[in-house]
Structure 1
């Protein structure tokens, strides 16, 4: 087990000697620490630099263009993958189809020269953890992709010296029916062994259900790092608010005037605290509010803003309304028995407690 740390890491795939102002940066000035024994997710949209970061940890990219990579406090910048003790599980299961499950799991240990009696004991322990004990003699070629991915994970954790396990979108090719079970098993393994794991994904549901700590990256830049609750309740930027949550946060461009926040088609009154924060802001103002905090009424209420219902999405437990007024479009979560349908007008309020204010792309309050 080990912590993994980036210190001011920037990376470009441009040729050495390219001037910095002419480079395309995959990662830019990123500093972050993943603690020893923790379950982490590295989350962001496709092309944001996640796989580059993973390869910089594992040593598949030995050194970043700028900065340092530390594993358990040791500077490993420039060292090869073999010298780092990092295991990596890829999108597509990597197994030896010509071998059975036992020999697949045993391969890394035998490659290190471990005695066969010790190999057997360790393989049996890992197989038990992964629910593969009854398939040890089965050729890997006969297994489904989820079980093959378990073997890939097993080869990563079978060596007790493994410092950390990196999971690069490991559920990509897994049948939807099997995804939930495999994700649960990955989490169980992390808890049972206490190994540092970093799970890379563009899927917020996978990230939030696997990890205790989530690192969100956009365009190679760290946007926010924290628990799933931190990211949901206190997004550091409008991007986090919209990216985390289903549906994501409503984010509306606005300006401050005497009546409150002018959102174009309507104005939202502000408490003294919110007004003070907004008046001190520099940069473009944005109002954020999650759909579950939007108050919608089937008929006009005092001080409510009229919106038209354009879409009703029925989830069974509640409904998601798409509401429009002027150029503004928002979503609101309402009870299953909410008495308004498409084309009807509803009243909307924005309670102060649910409002987040952003300026220049960063959260004010």
Structure 2
């Protein structure tokens, strides 16, 4: 297990980067705790896999250092870092049996035969492949081979970190849930430092202690699932996480009120007078459709019944606003106004969350 420190870390795939725009990974300074489970979450091309490959030693950063337990490993080979990595697509030895594939990392390190047999049996049970232990990997399906890759990544108990690069891409949906549960159980049992790359918010939010949200090569927020939901620090976090994501509306903000399309909206705190492009953000869970007279006047475009609740798709001046209503809620034609829970509204200036005056004063 290891504490992982990213010190002034950045990377460009160009030999001579001329500006910040040339960097796939912008400057990062973070400390990831020993024994924590992290998910790197973001859209394709945001820098997640680049960062993971730097941590594993497959890629040397253009600048900065990476430290394991305060020891500089920037120039260490992957093998010397004592990590296990599972990739997006299966990496197995086709001519070996499932048993020999799972045992391979332990045999390479000279583990005792009795321990290898016991550990392989445990991992095979975890990934649901006890019955296939004697089969050659060659004839197995892609998702079965990926389960072998996952098992081989988890078979060692002494690694500094376990790294997963979108490992469930080829796994069927039902098995995905089971394997996520097993990975979480493994983390609780052995306390490995785990880093899990994904673009799937469900995977990230159910697997990790903390989610690291990346956008355009930057870490825009690191926090618990609850923190990301309630207080997104960047507009990208707001609309990327959630289904539907956060509603974002251009607004004028003056103290504890906002004005959107000429309508005054009360806020839950004093935000002074932020400058730049100012927006308010509110999640659909905190939006209510009413018959008025207060609130934003909207046009209801459609209502989607998704089983556990309804998603009401509304429009205001060409901007879509989503609201979530209870499954049994009655929605009448007269309901053409939206109101927001003031305590659940966030304010943003140039995409970054504005700290309310009271919180800023406490921090000072």
Report the alpha carbon displacement of residue 115 of structure 1 after superposing the two structures with TM.
Answer: 3.9
Indicate which of 321, 334, 345 corresponds to 1:330.
321
Q: Report matched runs for 1:108-119 at 5 Å.
A: 108-119=105-116
Q: Equivalences for 1:98-109 in 2 at 5 Å?
A: 98-109=95-106
- 2:49 is aligned to 51
Aligned residue for 1:154, secondary structure, equals helix
CA shift at 1:326, angstroms? 2.1
Contact 1:6 1:69 in 2 (8 A): yes
- Alignment partner of 1:320 is 2:311: yes
- Structure 1 runs (4+) deviating above 4 angstroms are 257-260
**CA deviations over 1:301-341 (Å, ceiling 9, x no partner):** 23233221102110112100011122332000012233336
Report whether the alignment pairs 1:211 with 2:201: no
Q: Does 1:186 align with 2:176?
A: no
Asked if the contact 2:285/2:323 (under 8 Å) is kept, the reply is yes
Q: Which position in structure 2 is the counterpart of 1:277?
A: 271
Q: Which residue in the other structure is 2:353 paired with?
A: 363
RMSD between aligned alpha carbons?
2.2
Structure 1 residues 327 and 258: alpha-carbon distance in aligned structure 2, compared to 1, 3 A threshold: farther
Is this contact kept in 2: 1:340–1:346, CA < 8 A? no
Map 1:298-317 to 2 at 5 A: 300-317=291-308
Aligned to 1:94: 91
Shift of residue 344, structure 1, vs aligned partner: 6.5
1:123 lines up with 2:116 in the alignment: no
Alignment of 1:2 onto 2:2:
yes
- What SS does structure 2 have at the residue aligned with 1:30? strand
Q: Flag the 1:345–1:117 CA change in 2: closer, same or farther, 3 A.
A: closer
Q: Please give the TM-score of this superposition, normalised by the length of structure 2.
A: 0.90
SS in 2 for 1:269: strand
Gaps spanning 5+ residues in structure 2: where?
357-364
* Maintained 8 Å contact 1:306/1:345: no
Q: How many residues align?
A: 355
Query: Unaligned stretches of 5+ in structure 1?
Result: none
SS in 2 for 1:52: helix
Deviation string, structure 1 residues 174-202 (Cα, Å, up to 9, x no partner): 22233222222222222222211111001
Q: Does 1:148 align with 2:142?
A: no
Q: Give 1:39's aligned residue.
A: 37
